[in-house]
Amino acid sequence: MTVRVRFAPSPTGYLHVGNARTALINWLFAARAQGRFILRIDDTDAERSRPEYAAAIDVDLHWLGLAWAERVVQSSRLGAYAAARQALGATGRLYACYETAEELETARRLALSRGRPPVYDRAGLDLDAPARSRLEAEGRSPHFRFRLDDRAIAWQDGVRGPSHVPGGSVSDPVLFRADGRPTYTLASVVDDIDLAISDVIRGEDHAANTAVQIQIFQALGAAPPRFAHHALLVDASGAGFSKRLGSLSLRALREEGVEAMALASLLARLGTADAVTPEGDLAALTASFDLARLGRAPARFDAADLWRLNAELLRRMPFAAVAERLAAIGLEAADARFWEAVRGNLTRLAEARDWWQVVRSDITPVREDPDVLAAAARLLPAEPWDETTWAAWTGALAQATGRKGKALYHPLRLALTARDSGPELKRLLPLLGRVRTLARLQGPGA
């Protein structure tokens, strides 16, 4: 069987790191099996879905490098859901219910307060035709639930191993709302059948849905796919991520300067016992990906890990890979020499601008040790300069002043860069050039 997976976000907010992890896990799983990764936009909730969020999902996945083979939008598949309604209706397992949301909530609270599981009492099943007409005459329109079998539902989970949900512990799911629209619960199954999805890989918050959906697959005469439920991602305080709370969106991380591969490198290994290593492309992550390595404990996301990977990836990045992006932040004139000098000192690419300013614009040098600086100006070699110039110059300076180590280098660094630390001076020096170097050593009016 060809592996076909789907990532199925609801366009009700911006994708967050937890969503990105689900998408990546699906993508890597498909890539590993040479299967297909399908993007499905779950927009059956018309009130909360927004086209701009759907568009942002495309942008975010594209940025992460997660290309999709097909893109399916649920709101354009209403005909398929209507056909499923007919088919389920014919099985006799769809039944009309008339409770309002408030009534259901009251019943739920009551059940909980009596120590019972808050499972729907199937009152709708007891309504005969006259009773239904009376309710409709009151102005109520029915929504439709699917009558579950009360047997335990078991499946072999790709992450959790043998799994089951006891019979009677889940409410009969609503499959069609009072306005006739299908719910996610139904639409997802119909799509998974029509798209020949082989593996449904999603967060463990969907395990109860799986129990219900397996029965719907069967009622529709289809074999259920394989299921895998990964543990959820939590933040450093142990709290989960949510689109509604707007937590840690991909777009925010991107705007802050996170490299897509830093995020992918982290998310691919979080929740496994494997070390998180910076990988330059998805192929490297694919090679080592295995669903079975995901643990059952919540995976902890720590932004500090992300920035460490970011710095590490930038440090390894060749100039060709960043030339366009440097130009886009105003550094059209930056060249490989500049990039190779500064890349080891960046946490985010945009910080290259600070170093560009150091080598190309006016800064206010910090002149702490006039004697050393005066001698340094005197001994400054003639151009042309290269990376050996620094050693020759500071060697002569050490002899002339009797200084060495930090006592020699630190005043030079402060004068040349106005910063305490930074890229190797032997690399910055040729970028600065003699005129600028001399001016910084001598100060204004010299």
Positions in the binding site for ligand GLU (CB under 6 A): 8-10, 42, 184, 188, 202, 206
CB of 429 to ligand GLU, least distance (A): 54
Q: What's the rounded Cα separation, in Å, for the pair 430 and 24?
A: 43
- Which residue, 159 or 262, has its beta carbon nearer to ligand GLU? 159
CB of 200 to ligand GLU, least distance (A): 6
CB of 206 to ligand GLU, least distance (A): 5
- Which residue, 135 or 294, has its beta carbon nearer to ligand GLU? 294
H or E segment to which residue 415 belongs: helix 406-417
CB of 233 to ligand GLU, least distance (A): 13
Contact 215, 171 (CB under 8 A): no
- Which residue, 8 or 375, has its beta carbon nearer to ligand GLU? 8
CB of 75 to ligand GLU, least distance (A): 13
Residues 6+ apart with CB under 8 A from 74: 40, 41, 42, 43, 44, 187, 191
Contact 359, 441 (CB under 8 A): no
> What residues form DSSP beta bridges with 240?
234
- Which residue, 202 or 403, has its beta carbon nearer to ligand GLU? 202
Which 8-state DSSP code applies to residue 26?
A: H
> Positive or negative CA dihedral for 432, 434, 436, 439?
positive
- Which residue, 49 or 171, has its beta carbon nearer to ligand GLU? 49
Q: What's the rounded Cα separation, in Å, for the pair 305 and 293?
A: 20
Q: Which residue is nearest to ligand GLU (CB)?
A: 42
CB of 264 to ligand GLU, least distance (A): 20
Beta strands in 222-348 (DSSP E): 226-230, 233-234, 299-300
Count CB atoms within 10 A of the CB of residue 39: 23
Which 8-state DSSP code applies to residue 182?
A: B
CB of 243 to ligand GLU, least distance (A): 8
Among candidate residues 243, 170, 304, 186, the one with its CA nearest the CA of residue 15 = 243
- Which residue, 41 or 97, has its beta carbon nearer to ligand GLU? 41
Among candidate residues 256, 255, 279, 257, the one with its CA nearest the CA of residue 267 = 279
CB of 361 to ligand GLU, least distance (A): 48
H or E segment to which residue 87 belongs: helix 78-91
* Structure token pair of residue 156: 């072999």
Contact 367, 438 (CB under 8 A): no
CB of 7 to ligand GLU, least distance (A): 7
- Which residue, 99 or 204, has its beta carbon nearer to ligand GLU? 204
* Structure token pair of residue 18: 């937890």
206-213 LR contacts (CB < 8 Å, sep 24+): 207/160, 207/163, 207/165, 208/165, 208/170, 209/185, 210/153, 210/155, 210/165, 211/153, 211/165, 211/170, 212/146, 212/148, 212/170, 212/173, 212/185, 213/185, 213/188, 213/189
- Which residue, 45 or 305, has its beta carbon nearer to ligand GLU? 45
- Which residue, 48 or 308, has its beta carbon nearer to ligand GLU? 48
- Which residue, 242 or 357, has its beta carbon nearer to ligand GLU? 242
CB of 326 to ligand GLU, least distance (A): 37
- Which residue, 8 or 17, has its beta carbon nearer to ligand GLU? 8
DSSP strand pairing (94-97 vs 70-73):
unpaired
Contact 232, 17 (CB under 8 A): no
